[in-house]
Structure 1
Amino acid sequence: MKPERKLEKRKNVVFSIVLFLLVISIFYAIYMLFHAPSGLAEYAGQRVKSDYVLMVLQCLFGAIVIFLPEKVEDRFEVRIPNLIKIIYIIFLFLAIYLGEVRNFYFRVPHWDNILHFFSATMSGALGFFLVDYLNGFDKLNLDLSPFFVSFFAFCFSVTVGAIWEIYEFLADGILGTNMQKFITFQGEVLVGREAISDTMEDIIVNTLGALLIVTLGYFYLQKKQKPNKKVPKE
């Protein structure tokens, strides 16, 4: 079996497992929503109704966007490598199933930072892929420098991180969740610098992850596009 064929098969297996876990988790969260206490958690790690509302939304969101790579391929007639698809699906598994359903955000120290760093590198790599895709259009006649490609990938990755923080802010305001960690487990509402520390930490980690991947990508493109020096004829 060819390597690409094996990768395709593994992608399908990972896809099926993660989608199954997300769908099952939706029903689990809906069931627990009717049995969980209301209000704020009385102790660290306790889940209340707002936590299960968030879990339903996150799992539903994951079950929808897991189809995104295939939809992009069909809509824009592009070929996304299976390796990128597998990494994307694994990220959904880590962020939604392990993070929200299995409560790794509470159980594993710095789990949120790990995911933000991982997502920043992944979105940065996606930025490189998008520019490479655009470079393939003869009608556009693009000949972008390694610096511009890297700069675009960096901006793309940081923008994705910023949009996620906006999503967390809106979810906290509309649904009464605590994604931005502005309320302690004791019910204290943080103010000032402490209230935005979680958000700013996420943005900083996103920026560092994006900077790492675009730096590596810059040197890779620079080496790839470096013209071969021709020995002048005498």
Structure 2
Amino acid sequence: MTGEASSVTVPWQRILREAVLLAMPFQVVFIVLTLALDAAHVPHVKPALALLLVPALWVPGAIGLLVRFPMPRMLQLHYFVFMSIGPYAGSALAVYGLIPGWDKVVHFDSGIMLAWLALWTLRESELRGGAVLRRWMSLVFVQLVAMSFAAAWEICEFIADHTIGTHAQLNNADTMGDIIGGTLGGLVSLLVVWWFRRPRSLLPPSLLKPAQR
């Protein structure tokens, strides 16, 4: 064990308050910016989609209430940034169509975020369960989480395209590029963990010991 204290169970009121304070600035921006762009008749803006994304910013808080301890702030903020550059800016504000390659940036960032989520899950499991995994098992788990979610997202896009007529997938190269982007994001996270031991607030005991270089 490393001496790092595990997250403790905290009152739900505190979890809710912290979640609200973190999410509120992003929610305000989503609402105000969307209404301003719509009032200015900016083309391709989707106000309904943008406003539907506002409650999606409650996801970290909901997870915290479910497990009775909050997500680390770094992970929550990364989720808000991902929602801002991806579903909000990319889809609701049509940035995907305006900036070539924006989609790949979002998928790369999703791999980093999902790797962080996997690290936090491992951390809480190891600290609360009292069993520390072998280092290679932790690294493989984190990478597989990033890859699995990247593939699952593309499966959902494929189903949507063929059932409700969306056009999320352009071709095989686009689909594979998205999966590779998410995979590389997870890999970059692992390299940072391996070399710098950061971010420490998310690292499980199995990955906190300095690596042999």
TM-score normalised according to structure 1 size: 0.66
How far off is 1:121 after superposition?
Answer: 0.8
CA distance in 2, matches of 1:104, 1:157: 24
Q: Decide which structure has the larger Cα Rg and report it.
A: 1
Residue 124 of structure 1 aligns with an amino acid whose one-letter code is A
Q: Does 1:211 align with 2:187?
A: yes
Q: How many corresponding residue pairs?
A: 184
* 1:86-101 superposed matches below 5 A: 86-101=77-92
CA distance in 2, matches of 1:127, 1:106: 31
Q: Would you say the 8 A contact 2:135–2:206 is kept in 1?
A: yes
CA distance in 1, matches of 2:146, 2:109: 11
| 1:57–1:19 distance in 2 versus 1, CA, 3 Å | same
CA distance in 2, matches of 1:67, 1:120: 20
* 1:119-130 superposed matches below 5 A: 119-130=110-121
Q: Would you say the 8 A contact 1:21–1:97 is kept in 2?
A: no
How far off is 1:18 after superposition?
Answer: 2.9
Q: 1:179 aligns with which of 134, 148, 168?
A: 168
Q: Which residue does 1:79 correspond to in 2?
A: 70
Q: Does 1:19 align with 2:49?
A: no
Q: Would you say the 8 A contact 1:151–1:214 is kept in 2?
A: no
* 1:84-233 superposed matches below 5 A: 84-137=75-128, 140-181=129-170, 195-219=171-195, 220=197, 224-226=208-210
User: RMSD over aligned Cα, in angstroms?
Assistant: 3.3
| 1:169–1:96 distance in 2 versus 1, CA, 3 Å | same
| 1:134–1:206 distance in 2 versus 1, CA, 3 Å | same
Structure 2: unaligned runs, 5 residues or longer: 1-16, 37-42, 198-204
Q: Would you say the 8 A contact 2:115–2:186 is kept in 1?
A: yes
How far off is 1:100 after superposition?
Answer: 1.2
How far off is 1:226 after superposition?
Answer: 4.9
Q: Would you say the 8 A contact 2:49–2:92 is kept in 1?
A: no
Q: Does 1:65 align with 2:40?
A: no
CA distance in 1, matches of 2:63, 2:20: 17
| 1:57–1:162 distance in 2 versus 1, CA, 3 Å | farther
Residue 73 of structure 1 aligns with an amino acid whose one-letter code is G
Q: Deviations over 1:38-81 (max 9, x none)?
A: xxxxxxxx86xxx96xx855752x33431111111111122312
How far off is 1:141 after superposition?
Answer: 3.0
CA distance in 2, matches of 1:24, 1:163: 32
| 1:81–1:164 distance in 2 versus 1, CA, 3 Å | same
Structure 1: unaligned runs, 5 residues or longer: 1-8, 29-45, 182-194, 228-234
